[in-house]
Chain A
Amino acid sequence: MAAQRQHLGYEDEKLQRVMERLPCRDVQASMLLALMGEPEQCSYPSIFIYGHRATGKSHVIHTLLKELELPYATVSCVECVSVGLLFEQVLLSLFGSDSASLLSRSPSLSDFVRVYKQLCVQASAKQTRYIVLDRAELLRDMETNLLPAFLRLQELVDDNVTVILLSEIVWDKFRPNTGCFEPLLLHFPDYSKGELQQILSEDSHPSYSPELYSAFINILLGVFYSVCRDLRELRHLAALHFSKFIEPLEQGKVKESDTHKLWRNIEPHLKKAMQTVYLREVSSVQWEQQLQMEEKEAGAVRGLSAHAHVELPYYSKFLLIAAYLASYNPARTDKRFFLKHHGKIKKTNFLKKHEKTSNHLLGPKPFPLDRLLAIFYSVVDSRVAPTASVFCQISSLVTLQLLNQVGHDDQLDAPKYKCAVSLDFILAISRTVSFDMVKYLYDFL
């Protein structure tokens, strides 16, 4: 490997330093280096790098380009809400600060290429220029000609330039329907469990031995690995939970060598953390505060989702209940549920077995306003006049996103709605007005 790198035109120690900063990415980095070649040589017009989140795509590229001191521009496509911003950033980092002023106010691709060519003539580079586009999947949503043009930018501006696209999504989803210049595809594979262990073990706590930290990482991976392989997430979790892990050591209860006891101490704690911190139910700061208070159990603080309770007016509650019933019950069962004297309905006919519980799987069905009001009058005990305030409450439930209006063709005449709340939410609501919800739901008969 070392011999291979010798004649690439870079200093040895620089390469050494680069490789040290890229653990477990030797193969990918040296392949990229080989593709880039010597700085003066031509490079491939466009390279597309894909791989999962946090597999070191941008890290490898940036380390290589920065340490080897190559001219490069790096642009995150998330930031570029307009193409003008994108062009400006590219020109700024490739040609210095006064270059972007050459662009007009809302530049087109044609302007960009013209300015680029013009600047190229003034400062013709001896080295390959690199344009790195991070989160390249967003390029697809911009103008249609942008992606094909960037892929063949080398040909368009007639300069030794390479465009590197980084994305999580595979190339097949990018290809425009009339085709384009095919980039060189490179895959960054995910880190295996061993590699994750190795990388995570590197940032060990200074006052404890690396072996102890490594053992901790091992336990952490044992809990979280089947759910999460994201290095950043795991690193965040490791940093958060290490203080809990070493707690028994600090109190002097156990020795460092006693890993089994340490494991017994931390494992339930980590399992709980999966439900709270991993899902961002409780913020990391809250979690740490909670640890310091100690007497409180982890998870005792109510997370974000536990705050689902909403205080509503009396009629709004019934309107919502009626909407839920209308959404999840088939219309043919209304007669049986809500009419006092509904005549004879055959039990066997009424309960079609194969349909059971299917509504809570398939989701809410749309219903017309009339049906909502009919059910509403039937479930509310008192006499309610259809005043403006009732209708007002329906439309304000829509703005609160507890109801959804379906189909925008009719605003006034017979609008249709869907109920957009979960079963737990509606059960809580019906409890406050002492209404037996389950009795009226077809799915739970």
Chain B
Amino acid sequence: MSKRKVKETHMPVGECISQVQMILRERFCHQRLPEKPVGMESQHKHLLELLRRTAVHGESNSVLIVGPRGSGKTMLLNCVLRELLEVKDVNKNVLPVHLNGLLQTDDRIALKEITRQLNLENVVGDKVFGSFAENLAFLLEALKKGDRSSSRPVLFILDEFDLFAHHKNQTLLYNLLDVSQSAQAPVAVIGLTCRLDVLELLEKRVKSRFSHRQIHLLSSLSFIQYLDNVRSQLSLPQDFPDTKFYDEWNDGIKMLCEDQPVVDVLQRHYNSSKDFRSLHLLLMLALSRVSASKPAIKPTDLLEASRVCMVDSKANILHGLSILELCLIIAMKHLNDIYEGEPFNFQMVHNEFKKFLQRKSHSIHNFDKPVVIKAFEHLQQLELIKSMDSSTAKIQKEYQLMKLLLDHSQIMEALQKYPQCPTDVKQWAMSAFG
């Protein structure tokens, strides 16, 4: 790195930091493409070869890329596309069509989107004309007229492929795969999905036209690789303008990844999930604590970021409840213990609460029934309790059957952390019998 020909430049720390933020934020948030996909070389080769055959030789293909969320399906595909389009002839020749199952929720919309992206002749400006049937006939006509040698190959990229399988009659999938099976214009149908059972969703006639080629992206990352990944994700690229800062930063990152508490934290994250998205979330939180006055990521930053990531959100919500609401939750817990998870209604909870008040005879907690109902409704609003039956308007609200959506340990833990919890309430919660 020191052999670079660039003139040594020094920028003030503030500017360096803002550069660092710029570069790393683009990496974490904007999912910038890496130079080369890491840990999926064989899949990369497979897909590239497949698409090149379509682009160069005019072969029709269909493939599914399957992997859990955050495993780099889109990244792999985009890397392959970038590489493919770098080839001279291909760039002018190939027509990519991007569809997303979230956006194109039915075939009509998807068809319009295809015609728009292919710039066919019934498109004026940005509007597409004609009915669904006309559009489909027109598109199929256009695809049928082509043949292997003369027409330009089309790459259909279907993101969230499993959502396309929920369309009526799977018309779009059927037609696309049918074109890819018969000797018409060369098309490649690439589906990206996170469902392993996606083939079960397809109709028989659609399934038989699919080539059953699947690329699985199941992460086989070991922890050492994971650590390497963290280091490379946080390091600055070679062309960073300030060399001195570049060296300092990268050394700092190397030190950071050898620090024992940091390794422990990363191990914990590795154990919970191996995907890159959650890693990016963690690193983003750590990065946001870097500023001009503190121009490096310290181990404490990462620990703090991990704490923010790992926090139990229900415990947070429980912490903010009033005493009365907490008492109601304890009463529900006791009801759950006694009746073994049977649903309860407000009357039973109130009865349980009144029993507690009678025994302790503290007038402080002596609230009127409407006030208690208001607290109960607040709990329902927070979705800590859920109504069992759907027709809520039919039954009086005191008699609606409810279920508690918290478990024993969550309640006890929240009670321990609760600020200025009255002792008698605590004891009541501890005691086994209401």
Q: A336 → chain B, closest Cβ, in Å?
A: 26
> Is A16 in contact with chain B by the CB < 8 A criterion?
no
CA distance A152 to B101 in the complex (A): 13
Q: How many residues of B contact A (CB 8 A)?
A: 73
Known: A7-B292, A182-B278. A108 touches B29 (CB 8 A): no
B105 CB contact (under 8 Å) in A145, A171, A274, A362:
A145
- Interface 1/0 per residue, B189-215 and A, CB below 8 Å: 000001100000000000000000000
Whether A361 lies near B319 (C-beta < 8 A) is no
B394 contacts across to A, CB distance below 8 A: 404, 406
- B370→A305 contact, CB < 8 A: yes
Q: Cβ of A7 and Cβ of B291 under 8 Å apart?
A: yes
Contact A109/B105 with A55-B320, A187-B311, A363-B347 known, Cβ cut-off 8 Å: yes
In contact, A156 and B320 (Cβ under 8 angstroms): no
B28 partner residues in chain A, CB cutoff 8 A: 44
How distant is B14 from chain A, measured CB to nearest CB, in Å? Answer: 4
Interface residue? A391 (CB, 8 A) = no
The main secondary structure of chain B at its interface with chain A is helix
Q: Establish whether residues B69 and A38, one from each chain, have CB atoms under 8 Å apart when the complex forms.
A: no
B109 with A42: CB separation less than 8 A: no
Measured between alpha carbons, how far is A7 from B22 in the docked complex, in Å? 13
Closest chain B residue to A113, Cβ basis: B103
The interface residues of chain B lying within 8 Å CB-to-CB of A43 are 25, 29
Are B109 and A50 in contact, CB atoms less than 8 angstroms apart? no
A227 touches B105 (CB 8 A): no
A152-184 contact mask (Cβ, 8 Å, vs B): 1 or 0: 101110001000000011111100001111101
- Docked-complex contact B29 and A38, CB < 8 angstroms: no
Residue ID in chain B nearest A190 by CB atoms? B320
CB distance from B411 to the nearest CB of A (A): 15
Which listed residue (B25, B103, B367) contacts A37, Cβ 8 A?
B25
Chain A residues with Cβ under 8 A from B109's Cβ? Answer: 108, 110
**Complex contact B285–A7 (CB within 8 A):** no
**Judging by beta carbons under 8 Å apart, are B126 and A34 in contact?**
no
Which residue of the partner chain B has the closest CB to A162?
A: B29
Decide if A362 touches B18 in the complex (CB within 8 Å): no
Interface residue ranges of A64-122 to B (CB < 8 Å): 108-110, 113-114, 118
- B220 to A: closest C-beta gap in Å: 20
Q: Are A169 and B383 in contact (CB under 8 A)?
A: yes
Bound Cα distance A169, B383 (Å) = 7
Q: Would you give the 0/1 interface string for B113-134, flagging 1 where the beta carbon is closer than 8 Å to chain A?
A: 1001000000000100000000
Closest residue of chain B to A169, judged by CB? B383
CB distance from A34 to the nearest CB of B (A): 4
CB contact between B291 and one of A4, A225, A226, A227 (< 8 Å): that residue: A4
In this complex, what residue of B is CB-closest to A2?
Answer: B293
**A248 CB within 8 Å of chain B:** no
Query: B residues within 8 A CB of A418?
Result: 395
Contact with B along A225-264 (1 / 0, CB 8 A): 1111100000000000000000000000000000000000
Alpha-carbon gap, A422 to B396, bound state (A): 9
A185 proximal to B (CB < 8 A): yes
Check if B395 sits within 8 Å of A114, measured CB to CB: no
Given A41-B25, A145-B102, also A6-B14 (CB < 8 A): yes
Kindly provide the distance from the CB of A5 to the nearest chain B CB, expressed in whole angstroms. 8
Interface residues of A in 355-373 (CB under 8 A from B): 360-364
Known contacts A275-B368, A275-B370, A170 near B314 by CB under 8 Å: yes
* A420 contact set on B, CB distance < 8 A: 395-396
Q: How far is it, in angstroms, between the C-alpha of A404 and the C-alpha of B29 when the chains are bound?
A: 54
Report if A31-B288 is in contact (Cβ < 8 Å); known contacts: A44-B29, A171-B313, A361-B351: yes
Residues of chain A lying within 8 A (CB to CB) of residue B319? 189-190
Q: Which partner residue on chain B sits nearest A43 by CB separation?
A: B29
Determine the chain B residues whose CB is within 8 A of the CB of A404 once the complex forms.
Answer: 394-395
CA gap between A184 and B288 in the complex, in Å: 12
Give every chain B residue within 8 A of A189 (Cβ-Cβ): 316, 319-320
> B233: CB under 8 A from chain A?
no
B323 sits at the interface (CB 8 A): yes
Q: Is B162 among interface residues, defined by CB-CB distance under 8 A?
A: yes
> How distant is the Cα of A4 from the Cα of B288 in the complex, in angstroms?
11
* In the complex, B6 has a CB within 8 A of chain A: no
A361 CB, nearest partner CB in chain B, Å: 5
Complex contact A155–B194 (CB within 8 A): no
Most buried by A among B109, B278, B317: B317
- Listed stretches B45-53, B54-62, B79-87, B374-382; interface member: B374-382
Q: Across the two chains, which residue of chain A brings its CB closest to B378?
A: A53
A333 to B365, CA, bound (A): 39
Which residue of A179, A192, A229, A281 contacts B69 across the interface (Cβ within 8 Å)? A179
| Cβ-defined partner of A109 (8 Å) among B102, B370, B374, B419 | B102
Could you tell me if B317 and A275 are in contact, using CB atoms closer than 8 angstroms? no
B29 contact set on A, CB distance < 8 A: 42-45, 154
Does B224 reach chain A (CB closer than 8 Å)? no
A4 in contact with B195 (CB, 8 Å): no
Residues of B within 8 A of A422 (CB): 396
A 132-164 contacts with B by CB, 8 A: 143, 145, 148-149, 152, 154-156, 160
Give the complex CA separation of A280 and B100 in angstroms.
Answer: 49
A440 at interface, CB cutoff 8 A: no
Do the beta carbons of A41 and B370 come within 8 Å of each other?
no
Shortest Cβ distance from A185 into B: residue: B313
Q: Which residue of B lies closest to A36 (CB)?
A: B288
Name the A residues within 8 Å of B289 (CB-CB): 34
- In the assembled complex, how far is the CB of residue B111 from the closest CB belonging to chain A, in whole angstroms? 11
A433 within 8 A of partner (CB): no
Q: Which residues of A come within 8 Å of B, CB atoms?
A: 3-9, 31, 34-35, 37-38, 40-45, 50-52, 55, 108-110, 113-114, 118, 143, 145, 148-149, 152, 154-156, 160, 168-173, 178-182, 184-187, 189-190, 192-193, 225-229, 274-275, 278-279, 281, 305, 360-364, 404, 406, 418, 420, 422
| Chain B residues in the interface with A (C-beta under 8 A) | 14, 17-18, 21-22, 25-26, 28-31, 69, 74, 100-105, 109, 113, 116, 126, 162-163, 194-195, 277-278, 281, 284-285, 288-289, 291-294, 308-309, 311, 313-314, 316-317, 319-324, 345, 347-348, 351, 364-365, 367-368, 370-371, 374-375, 381-383, 394-396, 398-399, 419-420
Q: Told that A44-B281, A406-B394 touch, could you supply 14 new A-B pairs with CB distance under 8 A?
A: A4-B294, A35-B288, A44-B29, A50-B313, A108-B105, A113-B103, A145-B102, A184-B281, A184-B284, A185-B308, A185-B309, A190-B320, A226-B323, A275-B370
Enumerate 26 A-B pairs (CB-CB under 8 Å) in ascending A order. A6-B14, A7-B17, A35-B285, A35-B288, A37-B21, A37-B288, A51-B320, A109-B102, A149-B102, A154-B29, A168-B381, A169-B383, A170-B314, A170-B316, A172-B313, A173-B383, A182-B281, A184-B284, A185-B308, A190-B320, A225-B322, A227-B322, A274-B368, A279-B370, A279-B371, A361-B348
Q: Which 10 A-B pairs have the closest CB atoms?
A: A363-B399, A190-B320, A170-B313, A34-B288, A7-B292, A3-B293, A110-B103, A7-B14, A226-B323, A42-B25
